[in-house]
Structures are given as structure tokens and as C-alpha cells.
Structure 1
Amino acid sequence: MTRKAFSCNPGYCLAALLSLAAPALALAQASLPQPTIHGREAAPRQTMRAYFDDVRKARAIAHSRFETLASEYELGYVIVQLNEQEASELRAMGFRLVPDPHWMTQQLEQARKESEARARASQATATGIPNYSCYPTVEEVFTEAEGMAANKPQLASWIDIGDSWAKGAGQGGYDLRVLKLTNSAVSGDKPKLFINAGIHAREYTTTPLVLEFARKLYNGHGVDADATWILDHHEVHLLLATNPDGRKKAESGILWRKNTNTAYCGATSNYRGADLNRNFGFTWNISNGGGSSGNACSETYRGPSAASEPETRAVEAYIRSLWPDRRGPNRTDPAPLDTSGIHLDIHSHGRLLLWPWGSNGAPAGNDTQLATLGRKFAYWNRHTPQRSLDLYETDGTSDGPSYGELGVASFTFELGTAFFQQCSYYNSTVLPDNMPALMYAAKVVRTPYQTPAGPDVTALALNYKRVPQGRPATLVARVDDTRYNQTNGTEPTQTIAAAEAYIDVPPWLSGARAIPLSARDGSFDANNEYVVGQIDTTGLSVGQHLVYVRGQDAAGNWGAFSALFMQVDAPNRTALTSPQKEAQRR
């Protein structure tokens, strides 16, 4: 479901350019050898700015067969590598091309300066990918995930789901491993969120974002109310490195996309391998060459047959183990609205939020519900939400086994503005913008085709952080039905109609008791409202309790839960302290 981009050849590897002075770049590119494709020399390529007058055209070429290095939409151009024929095509499409031969050295120099500044500030031994220390290596990712499982086996397990191509071929390589997060002390059939990252090796931001999401849940259990109830009642499955062999190549500064299978395009070629995100079986080669390539040296080479690659087969088998099949055999058959589960495939770059289908025209049977959830995700990360096919055609993508076969809600996130994203942009934008979207996915995974149509709960607070048993506590929250990205299509919003709270037992479990909340201004008549209610602590045990809150809109849609902790103390043992005064004490 993602786009064509570019691989490194000997004249364009960022690692090689590290030692080149900018004035010598053009000479270096001209003098180094070019790759051979099917027995002929590849046409020389230039790095250029492609200025546009319509951002939709820019997004289209940024995710197609043109080799796009960066998407600087706000500046009015994208950075592309083009041969003469491709340059002619873009000019005919209305793009104005300006050579930018120093772009790559400038990017690497900026990364080097940032890395040195971070090292000086922390006075710590450098870790992570060279010049990009905010991005851990494959080994560092695996070590941290293994440590989570070892230190808190009740919350985390580190599951071997198969081998990479190189490992299966006896050429080193890696296990494919899923970090499963859930509180195993809480039993029951739990809805499942599956996220895979790094299927395209050079997309640096994807694996660290998902690893940070794992940290947030793992470290937040028992500390943060939302992280606690998510892990108590849901399962989160994280394939942190879907293409570890390719990722290892990319860590050296090579803009590597595919796996490393030496059977395709020559055993030593930097163009070798299959594009794993064109190799899945459900829609493999369905577009007759329009959504993938049969050229083994192409960046979108789909492989010789459906699911030919061991990484693809491992992912397909794991997805099928998570969810039952709830969708009919026809392309337009919808899954039932109560279908649970979400699959997210995390990519870069382009700041897009995509849902099926990516081929053959007709919208998916659940297109309306997918659009609603997509616009909710895009509210936080400010990506453009759209059906994948509205961008360009793809086939053999990772949503095939999840949505195509089983009917599970599936999305692609395209993060940021570049493959080798600067750490400053990752930390200031990619990470804070996308973490709430991932948390929202974990909240609504029980009913992703229903809950996103309802309002969100924010500004959740109690009048006292600690309250003596028997003393009522006042709960206040904001319920908001407007939190959608409306930049591409329109999501309907309604007035708030109701809100309710639950103490310790959510409504999907027996014994749950709803506490109605009222509009603070006396009337539910707006699409966002402050609500208020009293919590009777008389029957609550001494200790920490979890308070769930949700809202309903006038169309009858109940939205996602948000939660907070309430500490109940023994009677007459606690001086009532407001959250503000408690903060001042500290």
C-alpha cells in the first residue's frame, strides 16, 4: 500500500557521501560506476527539486515509481532523483525541475551536527544508527524488547514468528519477532492490535516510533490509567522490524528498501531482493503490472510468486492466527460492524494516512467506517487521510491478509518528510504527533468500525486526588465530537447527548455499573460539552481505583474511553487535597 521510492547505487549512497565535499559531488557522481539492470547500464540520475502547483500531484509522484527522497510540500517542491526520460515526464506533467546536487551531503552534514550535539549534551557513549542516534539498531531494538519480556513476563512476551531470508539461507540474518504486550493476569478473549514497522528498510522513523509506543504502554501499566486498562483488557502485538536484513543494510547509510534475497537482480547488487509490501498473496499482481513490478531490479519488484518471501509468509501466518475471517469473498463485501481488531503498517514518508483498497477501483465494503477511523487518526498526526487508490495503485500489500481476507480494519501511516529523517524533526514532530494516534488505536480496537464515530473524552479530572472512603468525589471531563481531520472529505459531527463513568469494571464485563454524568452548563446542546458527576466512594475498598469515562453523541454513537486513577483512603485518615495543592507540595 506504500509508494515507489529509490534505492542506493554506488554514486548515491549517503554513507559514501559523508566524506565528500559538496563542491566535488557532481564529479564524484559522474565518475563512480552505475548499476546494471538486466544487462544494460542504468541511465544517469540527478538529484533535483520538482516544484509543483498542485500538492495532489506532488503526493502522487512521491508515492509512485519516481525516486522521491523528500516531500517538502510546505516549500512547494519534492526532492527527486531522475534520469533524463523521467525528467521529461515530470516536465510534461507540469513540474518545474531545478538541479540540487548538494542536497544529500547537506542532509548528512545536518544529521552529523545534530548527532554530535546530542552526544555532547548527554556525555554518553554513542548508540543507534551512525549520525542518527535517535534510531536504535536492529540489535538494540531486539535487546530492549527481550529485556521487557524478561523483566515483566506478566506484561510482555517476545515471540519468534519465523526467519528472515538471510537467516533461512544460512547467511546470518535474524528471527522475526513480535513483542506481545498484555496483562496476562487478566483473563478473557481480548481484542488485538497488530502493528508492523520497518517493512521498507530505509524508513528510519518507523521502528523507533513503534518501540516508543511499546515503552509507553509497558512503563505506564499501573502508573498511567489509559496504559493500564489497555493492557489489562486488550492485546498489543508489535512486529518492530519486519525486514531486519534490509534494515541492517540501511543502517550503513544505503537507501535500501527490499529484503536481501540474492536470487533477484544479482547476488551483490544494491537493487537485489523483493519488495515485501508487494509480495503478499491476497492481491499479488492483481493490477497486471500497474501496482508492482516484474523487474527484479525494480524497487517495487513483487517477487516471482505470491508470498514467495519468508518474511511475507511469517507475517501472513501471524495475522491469520490473531483474528477469525469475518468478511465475504467479494471485493465489496463488508465485515460486520462489530468486527474487532486493527492492523497498522507504519511507513515513511509523505504524511499520509491510507486505507484499502489500493487497486481495482471499487471502494472497500467498510470504506465509510475506515474513513471515519482514518480521519480520527489524522486529527492527531495531521496527515492527509485518504483511500489508498486515490493516491496511486498498489497490489500485494500487507492489508491483504488483514482486511482483504479477514475484514480487520487496516491502515498505512506514512510518517514525516524523508527516509533518513533528521532526529530533530522526529523528536519534535513525528513522535509527539503520532503517539496519540497509536494510543487511540489501542483504545478503539474492540469495535473500530463503531467507536470512532463517537466523541472523545479529554480534560478528565477529579476535584481531589485522594479521598477518604465514604466522601464523594466530583468528576469533571470534556466530551468532544469534533476531533476529525476534515482536510479530505467531511466527517459528520453531532451534539453531545450523554456521558457516563464506570468504576473499575468497564461495560464489556459483567457487574459493570454506569454512573450518569450531566452537562455542566445544564443542557446537552453543543458538539463539545463539559460534563460533571459525583462518585460515591462508600462501597469502594481502600486503594487505587480506575475510573473510565465515555460520551455519546446525538446519533447514538458511544466514543472511546479515557480513564484516570482515584485513590481511596481509610475514613478520617486523609486530609482532602486538590490536585493543584498536591502539585505545589511536590
Structure 2
Amino acid sequence: MILALGGCIGEEPVNVDAGPDEAANADPDQLDPSPPGVTLLVHVEYQTEEKLNWLVSEFDALEHADRKQGYVAMLVEPAEYEHLLDEGFAVEIQETPTEQLAEALSGFRSISGYACYRTVEETATDMATLASDYTDLVELVDMGDSWDKVTGGGPAGYDLAGMVVTNENIAGPKPRFFLMGSIHAREYATAELAIRFAEEMITGYGTDPDATWLLDNFELHVLPHTNPDGRKIAEQGYTQRKNRNTSSGNCSNPPTSSSQHGVDLNRNSSFKFGGAGTSSKACNLTYRRTSTSEPETQGLQSYMSSIFADQRGPGDADAAPSDTTGIMISLHSYSPLVLFPWSWSAAGAPNLTQLRTLARKFGYHTGYPVCQAPVCLYAASGTTDDWAYGTLGIAAYTFEVGTSFFQSCASFESTIVPDNIAALREAFKAARRPYQTPAGPDAVSVAVSSSPVTAGAVVSLTATVDDTRYDSNGWGSEASQNIAAARYTINQASWSGATTTAMTASDGVFNATSEGVTTSIDTTGWTVGRYLLMVEGQDAAGNWGAPSAVFLDIQ
């Protein structure tokens, strides 16, 4: 059954009053403000990997699939629906989601309907304000150009506007976390989530103990809008996925779920370019064009190469060393998932065990399934996370967040933000040694018995050291070890050469996977000021986990 829905979904078919040739040749700079039509959200069953790969390369396949039941979710127009039936596929229309999307987006052609999300311009303005207000913490950086920026005859285009967040008064080099959003333009939540995380770190400096030690010791590099040209189309309510490259193809305008101008930037990276999960057809949603052809991809790869050393050999089987430094996360929507390399192949990456361990820490916070894309979703080649791991050796991940491209502000604020901010903090803490630190226990609930105190007071420092905070949410389990030790440092991280002081088990013996730890601190001789106490734990396998901190004020 094809639903006869009024209104439109963001990626609407072309105007029914226009003939197909007229619509396809429309000026992509002049989008119809209210094209009528219907787009269906369907589940398409497949029997073989070849059929799945064909579906992904030919249609608007979403980041939602069920390997056990053998279906993939897609957006299709009525003609595509009939074509799938003619090809022998079993297609189930998801009536409620289709109706909800149509109702939510009927007549919607402005991001102002989603007050929680900033436009490209608003994001850039707010980053500039942060740089002005927090001069010691924020530096604006131009990471490249958009297609329109380097191509004449159309809109002016944009810089790939990002920022570096760190305490610039403390010299580096420092471990780096690169966070990017909105490489697929229609995924509203991702750009906002990226800048929200940066803002939390910036505004928390000096009042949030963990934000403080992280920015003292590490660098956060943030690119909220990786695809700003495409995002401007999406901000009008169209599900534009790709960038705005109009140089090839006789594609639909306005963009539809079957045809749109542009290149899929998450299929355009140079590592394993052109394989499964990509299309050579210019109007398809996964159109790859030629390797690193797009200015956005060139800027992204150039920038990451400038901040991360190449730490992995050239062979597919070459593992990055255990002391590799650096992590990147690409934020996508929708379908709750935490994905790790490889995306191009179902074979395990050389650092599979370590990549999976950190991913399961993310899964603990988000509740998302943690898996490898070709195993739980479908293969995709030329992706940003595969490039970052495959070329540089850094730990690289994709977060798929939420349940909609145009996620409601209510669910974004209540669920997506808190769950994912916690996971992003976990990632930032792991940036120094992403293949070692996540194997160790977390220090949580760090507290002092009293603060502020006068110099000479004896203060109790307590925490819980927990080696069980992993969850794949249905995709395997992570071994936990008993806690073996705990320690704290004052004002400096343990790896910087600071003096470490041992803590004891609250019950007198370390013999469980989660332990309360404690110590007494005599503040005799301490001067007036704020002190940062950093606690970390070690498991029986010898792994030290990331620290957590608390302030102690002496008055």
C-alpha cells in the first residue's frame, strides 16, 4: 500500500506540475519553497550480501538495518517502491514513521522550526563569540573550503569553520581529539551536538574539575559543519545528504530521496575508495565521484594529517602501536549505533580489540549497539573514520545518534545530548592512549569530605574505581578484572611526572571489579587557592584507567 499523505517530507519529489526534464534541469540555487508529494520510510528485506550492497548503492539507505531479520530501512518515492516490488523485494511501509515525518515537515522550510539547532551562520557566530570571550581557551581555525567557496557562478560558499579548545597557557604538544559533525547535511543533531560538547568544556573550565584537567592537558579540535553548503539546503527542510557539487549529473531539484546534486563526502575519502556501499551514478545518494575530489574532503584530510602523526604502517594488516595517540569521532544520524573500523570490509581491523574496548565504553553511556558496520549494518567504502584509522592509525569512530534526520528538540535535549556528551567525555579522556587507557577502570564519584577548608585540615578523598563500565548492547562482552590499586595526584597528571600517592580500598582489600577507595590528605603548609585532585585506578591486568578529578579549595 502507498500512503496518500498530504504535505511533504524534507526530501520531497519534484513539483508535480513540472515535467521530469523541467524538474531535473531546474536551477539548484532556486529551490521550490513548498513542493508537494510523498516519500515513504520502508523496510526492505534482502537475502544475500550482494542484494544488500545493491540496495545501499542504488537507494537512500538509512543507517538502520537488522542483520538477524534481514532488512534495511530506506526512504523511497512511490515509483521506487513499485520498482522494488517489481525486482522481487519484500517491502514493508512503516506507516507511523512515514505519517509522523510528513506531519512534522508539512510546510516546513526553515530551521526556525527547530529552535535547538543553530544554522551554519549562527554556529560560526557563536564560535567567534567563544573565541572573543575565552581568549586563553579558544582559537578559531579554517580547516578548508566548501564546494561553493571554490566554485564560481553560485552562492559564496563557506569556510570549514572550526575551533581548537585548550588552555593555551600550558605548552604542548598535547594529545588531540578531533570531533566533526554534519558531513551528511540533513543530520541536524550532529553539528549541534559537536558545538554543545565544546561549549561544555569551555564554560566548565575552572568550575568543572574534569573539563579543567582535560583542557590543561589535551586539545579538542571541533568542526561542527563539515558540509556547510549541503547543510544550507537541508536547513530549508530537504533531506540533502551530499555536498552541493552541481558539476555532473542531471539530478532532481529540489533534492529527493532518489536524486540530488552533490557528492557523498563520507564515500569520497582516499582510503579504500570506490568499494562496497558507494555509487558511481552522479545523482545517487552515495555518489563517490573520484577519490578526494571534493574540497571538503581535501580540507578534512589535510587538517587531520597536520594534527596527527602517521602512526600505522601501509598494509591492511599493520596494527598501530599500543601507545598511539589521538582519537576522532564523526557524528551522524540516525539510528543509535557506535561503529568502529573497518567500514569497507567485515574483516577485523588490526587494532580490533582495542577499538572495540573503547567503543564499549561509549556504549555504556549511550546505550547504543556497538559493532562494525559491515557486520551489523552494511559496508561503506571511502569513509572518514576508515581514512583516519587506516591512514594515520588513530582510534576512529562513527556515532549514529537519534531516530530522525530532523530530530525533535525535546528528544535531542532530553536524551541525545546527555547520553552522548558523557560518551564524548570518555573519548576526550582516552585521547592520550586510546589503545591502552580504556582497558583500565574508570574513577567515578570522586569527592572530598569538605571544601573549602583552612590550611592544616585533614581531608578525606574518596572515589569508586570500576572496571565494569562497558556495554556493547548485544554485540559481545568485555572482560572485567578486579581492581588492584588506586592513586591520586595534585594539579598535574600522573604521566607528566607528578608525584603519585596511593589510595586504599575502603573495605580494606582490593578483591572486586568495583571498589571504593579512600585516603586522608593533610593540608598543613598548603597555601590559599584551588587544588585539583586527580584519581585513577589500576586493574589486576595492570591497566591504568583515565583519571577523574575534584577540586579542593584552601581558604
Opposite residue 437 of structure 1, the aligned amino acid is A
- CA distance in structure 2 between the aligned counterparts of 1:216 and 1:60, rounded to whole angstroms: 40
* Equivalent residues of 2:242, 2:264 under 8 A apart: yes
Once the two structures are TM-superposed, the CA of residue 154 in structure 1 deviates from its matched residue by 1.1
* Equivalent residues of 2:339, 2:371 under 8 A apart: yes
Partner of 1:566: 552
Partner of 2:503: 517
Opposite residue 494 of structure 2, the aligned amino acid is P
| Aligned pairs for 1:289-438 within 5 A | 290-303=276-289, 305-390=290-375, 391-438=377-424
Opposite residue 385 of structure 1, the aligned amino acid is V
Alignment match of 2:213 (pick from 224, 229, 238): 229
| Aligned pairs for 1:78-227 within 5 A | 80-81=75-76, 82-87=80-85, 91-92=89-90, 96-97=92-93, 102-108=99-105, 129-170=111-152, 171=154, 172-227=156-211
Q: Secondary structure at the match of 1:178?
A: strand
- CA distance in structure 2 between the aligned counterparts of 1:261 and 1:343, rounded to whole angstroms: 26
Partner of 1:275: 264
Opposite residue 47 of structure 1, the aligned amino acid is L
Distance change >3 Å, CA 497–CA 106, structure 1 → 2: same
Q: Secondary structure at the match of 1:187?
A: coil
* Equivalent residues of 1:337, 1:450 under 8 A apart: yes
* Equivalent residues of 1:354, 1:385 under 8 A apart: yes
Partner of 2:491: 504
The answer on 1:445 being equivalent to 2:434 is no
- CA distance in structure 2 between the aligned counterparts of 1:528 and 1:562, rounded to whole angstroms: 15
Q: Secondary structure at the match of 1:372?
A: helix
Q: Structure 1: which 5+ residue stretches go unaligned?
A: 1-10, 18-24, 116-127, 570-586
* Equivalent residues of 1:324, 1:406 under 8 A apart: yes
Partner of 2:222: 238
Opposite residue 479 of structure 2, the aligned amino acid is P
- CA distance in structure 1 between the aligned counterparts of 2:46 and 2:458, rounded to whole angstroms: 60
Distance change >3 Å, CA 334–CA 15, structure 1 → 2: closer
Distance change >3 Å, CA 212–CA 514, structure 1 → 2: same
Opposite residue 538 of structure 1, the aligned amino acid is T
* Equivalent residues of 2:45, 2:89 under 8 A apart: no
Q: Secondary structure at the match of 2:447?
A: strand
- CA distance in structure 2 between the aligned counterparts of 1:35 and 1:442, rounded to whole angstroms: 50
Q: Secondary structure at the match of 1:205?
A: helix
Once the two structures are TM-superposed, the CA of residue 552 in structure 1 deviates from its matched residue by 0.8
Partner of 1:3: none
- CA distance in structure 1 between the aligned counterparts of 2:344 and 2:303, rounded to whole angstroms: 24
Distance change >3 Å, CA 555–CA 90, structure 1 → 2: farther
- CA distance in structure 1 between the aligned counterparts of 2:59 and 2:252, rounded to whole angstroms: 24
Opposite residue 383 of structure 1, the aligned amino acid is Y
Once the two structures are TM-superposed, the CA of residue 161 in structure 1 deviates from its matched residue by 2.1
Instruction: Spell out, residue by residue over 1:206-232, the C-alpha distance to the aligned partner (whole angstroms, 9 max, x if none).
Output: 000011001101101111111111111
- CA distance in structure 2 between the aligned counterparts of 1:554 and 1:560, rounded to whole angstroms: 15
Once the two structures are TM-superposed, the CA of residue 48 in structure 1 deviates from its matched residue by 4.6
Q: Which runs of 4+ in 1 moved over 6 A?
A: 28-32, 35-39, 51-54, 59-64
- CA distance in structure 2 between the aligned counterparts of 1:450 and 1:552, rounded to whole angstroms: 12
The answer on 1:47 being equivalent to 2:40 is yes
How many residues were matched structurally? Answer: 520
- CA distance in structure 2 between the aligned counterparts of 1:157 and 1:96, rounded to whole angstroms: 49
Once the two structures are TM-superposed, the CA of residue 36 in structure 1 deviates from its matched residue by 8.9
The answer on 1:14 being equivalent to 2:1 is no
* Equivalent residues of 2:7, 2:38 under 8 A apart: no
Distance change >3 Å, CA 328–CA 411, structure 1 → 2: same
Q: Secondary structure at the match of 1:179?
A: strand
Once the two structures are TM-superposed, the CA of residue 264 in structure 1 deviates from its matched residue by 2.3
TM-score of the superposition, structure 1-length normalised? 0.82
When the two chains are superposed, the root-mean-square deviation of aligned CA atoms in Å is: 3.1
TM-score of the superposition, structure 2-length normalised? 0.87
